[in-house]
Amino acid sequence: MPELPEVETIRRDLTASIVKRQIAAVEILSPKTASHSAAFFKRELVGRKIMAVSRRGKLLIITLSSGKDEVVNSEGINYLLIHLKMTGQLIYLDKKNRVAGGHSLNTKVETEKLPNSHTRAYLVMDNGGHLYFNDMRKFGYLKLATKKELDALIEKNYGPEPLTPEFTLETFKKALSRTNLKIKAALLNQKLIAGLGNIYVDEVLWEARIRPERLVPSIRPEELKKLFLAINKIIALAIESRGTTFSNYVDSQGRSGNFSKFLKVYGRGGEKCPKCHNPLQKTKIAGRGTHYCPICQK
C-alpha cells in the first residue's frame, strides 16, 4: 500500500508533468471509483487547468482553475481528490514524460497497453498526455470537491502530519492523549497522525525502541519524544529515497524507491535485528503484520 513517502513522490513527479496543463477529456470506466457520474466529471473537468498538485496525508489534491466560463464552475468544484488506498496506481504518459507511482507495478508490462483491465478512469491533457488511474481492488477513489467539502474532509479525517510546521512534539503528544489504543494502532490512525502506514510504523517503533503492543497511556514522555524524533527522521529519509517499493516497480526515470534498503524490521521476521542480532519477531497487531525486536524494543 502506498504510504506518505510514496504519495509524496508521485505528487512531485506529477507536479512536473501536469501542472498548467488543460484537461481535454475525462473517462470514468468504473462508476464505483468516482464520486459523481461520468457526465458530471466531464462537465466539471473538461476545459479546466491543473493549477497545483498537493497532498494531505495520503490524499492527493489537484487544484483546478476556476473554469473556462461560469457555467462550468456552477457547482463550485475546485478540487479533484485522488486516494490510492490499497492498490491504486497513477501512470502519466506523454511524448516526453512517463510518471508511474503507487501500488507496485512493472512499468514495462503495465504501461505498454493502457487503459488496461485495472484502469478505472483517465484524464487526457491538452498536449495529448494521459493520466491513468489503475486500481485492482477498487478501494481507491476520485472525488470532486468544493473548498468547503475538502476542508470538512481534512478536518474530519486527518490529524497533524509529519514534517509540517504543525507537527510539533506538543501536537504529537496532544494527538496521542486522545487514545488508549496500542501504539501501533494509534500511529496507523490517520485521524491522530496523518500519513503513517504499516511499513513506517514498524520502522519508527524499532527506531524509538518501543514495543508495538504497548498501550499509549503507558508510554513515558521521554519515550514519546524519541518516537516523535524517529517519525520525522524516518519519513524524511523515506521521501528522500522516493519511498519503499517492492517487486520490480520502476518510475519514469527507471528509478525504483530506495527506502527498502534502509528497512530495519519491516518484512524481516526471523532475520537478525540489526542492533542486537537476535531474531526479529512477526506478529499481528491492529489486524496488520507487525515486525519488532523483542530485545531492543521495551
Pick between residue 124 and residue 295 the one whose CB is nearest to Zn ion. 295
261 to 290: interface string for Zn ion, x by CB under 5 A: ------------x-xx--------------
Query: Nearest distance from residue 232's CB to Zn ion, in Å?
Result: 22
Q: Is 109 an interacting residue with respect to Zn ion (CB under 5 A)? A: no
Active-site residue (options: 3, 8, 110, 203): 3
Pick between residue 26 and residue 205 the one whose CB is nearest to Zn ion. 205
Task: Mark whether 174 is an active-site residue.
Answer: no
Residue nearest to Zn ion (CB): 273
Query: Nearest distance from residue 213's CB to Zn ion, in Å?
Result: 16
Pick between residue 67 and residue 294 the one whose CB is nearest to Zn ion. 294
Q: Is 210 an interacting residue with respect to Zn ion (CB under 5 A)? A: no
Query: Nearest distance from residue 225's CB to Zn ion, in Å?
Result: 21
Q: Is 295 an interacting residue with respect to Zn ion (CB under 5 A)? A: yes
Active-site residue (options: 12, 209, 282, 288): 288
Active-site residue (options: 58, 143, 182, 242): 58
- Give CA–CA dist 278/271, Å, rounded: 8
Task: Mark whether 11 is an active-site residue.
Answer: no
Q: Is 208 an interacting residue with respect to Zn ion (CB under 5 A)? A: no
Task: Mark whether 288 is an active-site residue.
Answer: yes
Count of residues binding Zn ion (CB under 5 A)? 6
Task: Mark whether 217 is an active-site residue.
Answer: no
- Active-site annotation, residues: 2-3, 58, 288
Binding site for Zn ion (CB under 5 A): 273, 275-276, 293, 295-296
